[in-house]
Amino acid sequence: MSTEPTEFAVWAPLPQRVRLQLDGAVHEMTRDDDGWWRATVPAAPEADYGFLLDDTTPARPDPRGRRQPDGVHGPTRRFDPAAHRWMDRAWTGRPLAGGVVYELHVGTFTEAGTFDAAVTRLDHLVSLGVSFVELLPVNGFNGTHNWGYDGVAWYAVHEGYGGPAGYQRFVDACHQRGLAVIQDVVYNHLGPSGNYLPEFFPVFSEGGANTWGDSVNLSGPHSDEVRRYVIDNALMWLRDMHVDGLRLDAVHALVDERATHVLEELAAEVDALSVTEGRPLTLIAESDLNDPRMVTPRAAGGLGLTAQWSDDFHHSLHAVLTGEGQGYYRDFAEGGLAGLAKVLTGAFFHDGAWSSFRKRHHGRPVDTDRLPGWKFLAYLQDHDQIGNRATGDRISAALSPGLLAVGATITLTSPFTPMLFMGEEWGAGTPWQFFTSHPEPELGKATAEGRIGEFAEHGWDAAEVPDPQDPETFTRSKLDWSELEQRPHADLLA
């Protein structure tokens, strides 16, 4: 295979020496004053490489590596995103307003669990009236299957799904059918296995932590390059992979003490890219702050994101339809239909009101004269609200087909942007459970025990909680597409 002079660069201010290991050969790298190491050597287009940090072996994968064919512990393989022959030149994108979002997990959307297999089901989404396909995280994680929120190779695409080339084929196929693509990304933490970033640079803030582990360093020493690492990743999906938007996971866990929040900085750069690309680009926040400033334009003092999820809509509608009132559902159950009406007209239930779950006042009112309803996503089900139940039971397991239809009608006719979770359209009988495949036994055990502890706090029987590490937990969560032809599923879809 032919080679050409190629510059390899990595930001690594922590080690004193960095060497490039390229297809078995080792090359010295030169450091600049900002902590970037560089070397220009002949390399094949699909060469395997990694970095030797000081005396540590084996070589570590590239923090910005686009492909990890042997997993997150293996070498990085060069990948040129421009090599794909895109067929979507006529695609001009679509704005979120007036759209319908469909959330899916690649590994359980089809039996094969790949991008190519998912393409075979896209026509179903078109006939359903979907306009945006939202993928749960697909970046590199350790193991074979996972929800995606344990990612450590942010710039790579999980090889089991089809890698970056398969991802490009999927996006291309969506665009040819008029479907926009939203990619779920996680910038608030990194997964517990296969994370080599701390060996390169101070990716975590000193003494900072959130629900999932150490907080990403967004405002401490050396945070300029860490922020750049985050923002460049977002731009990569939108520019190189032709994605139309990003869903930003749990932005309330982004600890940023700077005058300009990283979300505001990201929104500004995405808006600029949108002009360059000539198509609308969407940023959707998952936030439990109930703060309308998330989606308020920057010129009006907000962060300038396009939209945000409304958990209050889900909680209120769920409580009304099911009668559940435990845990964080308590206020919504007590609010009843009046509470649901409040959410339908104001987006938030907790708009400064008392939250019994948080034991404090929570939220801020939405100025509905200035913020249109489409800036809030409404849903009866999503991956969290199903998967974080003890047995991962969908709401279809508790409601009659009639009540399911009521829930769907309210969701689809609300003033907000509706979102469906895969299989919801036919009242799927398969659960969506929390599954992992950590190769490390101790990590798998800790994950399972942690889940049991969480459910005990909500009054669920620990004995009912499936083992996340059991392969059957993953298999049970796959959609059964044969249900489309069966009653009552076919009746609900009709």
Give the pLDDT score at 456: 66
Backbone φ/ψ region at 362: left (φ over 0), alpha (ψ -120 to 50), beta: beta
Residue 278: C-alpha distances to residues 32, 101, 319 (Å): 36, 22, 42
Structure tokens of 317?
Answer: 């509608």
Among 103, 172, 286, 483, which one carries the catalytic annotation? 286
Of 303, 315, 388, nearest to 358 by C-alpha is: 315
Query: Which element (helix H / strand E) includes 108?
Result: helix 106-109
Structure tokens of 385?
Answer: 């609200």
Give backbone dihedrals phi and psi of 247, rounded to 5 degrees, phi first.
-100, 120
Query: Which element (helix H / strand E) includes 11?
Result: strand 4-11
Give the pLDDT score at 209: 74
Domains of the chain, CATH where assigned:
4-60 (2.60.40.10), 83-493 (3.20.20.80)
Active site residue 286: yes
Grouped pLDDT means (10 residues each) for the chain, 494 residues: 92 98 97 98 97 96 98 98 95 98 99 99 98 99 96 98 99 98 98 96 86 90 98 99 98 96 99 98 98 98 98 98 94 98 98 97 97 98 93 94 95 98 96 95 86 70 86 97 93 84
Of 233, 245, 142, 241, nearest to 187 by C-alpha is: 233
The length of the chain is: 494
- The number of helices, as runs of H, and strands, as runs of E, in the chain is 14, 21
Among 249, 312, 382, 384, which one carries the catalytic annotation? 249
- State whether residue 148 is helix, strand or coil: coil
Q: Cβ distance 358 to 327 under 8 Å?
A: no
Active site residue 369: no
Instruction: State pTM to two decimals.
Output: 0.96
User: CB count, 10 Å around CB of 476?
Assistant: 18
Degrees, nearest 5: CA angle 146-148-151: 110
Please give the DSSP secondary-structure letter assigned to residue 161. G
Structure tokens of 136?
Answer: 């749960």
Lay out the sheet containing 48-53: strands in order across: 25-28, 18-22, 48-53, 76-77
Of 387, 408, 404, 384, nearest to 395 by C-alpha is: 404
Give the pLDDT score at 461: 75
Give backbone dihedrals phi and psi of 375, rounded to 5 degrees, phi first.
-75, 0
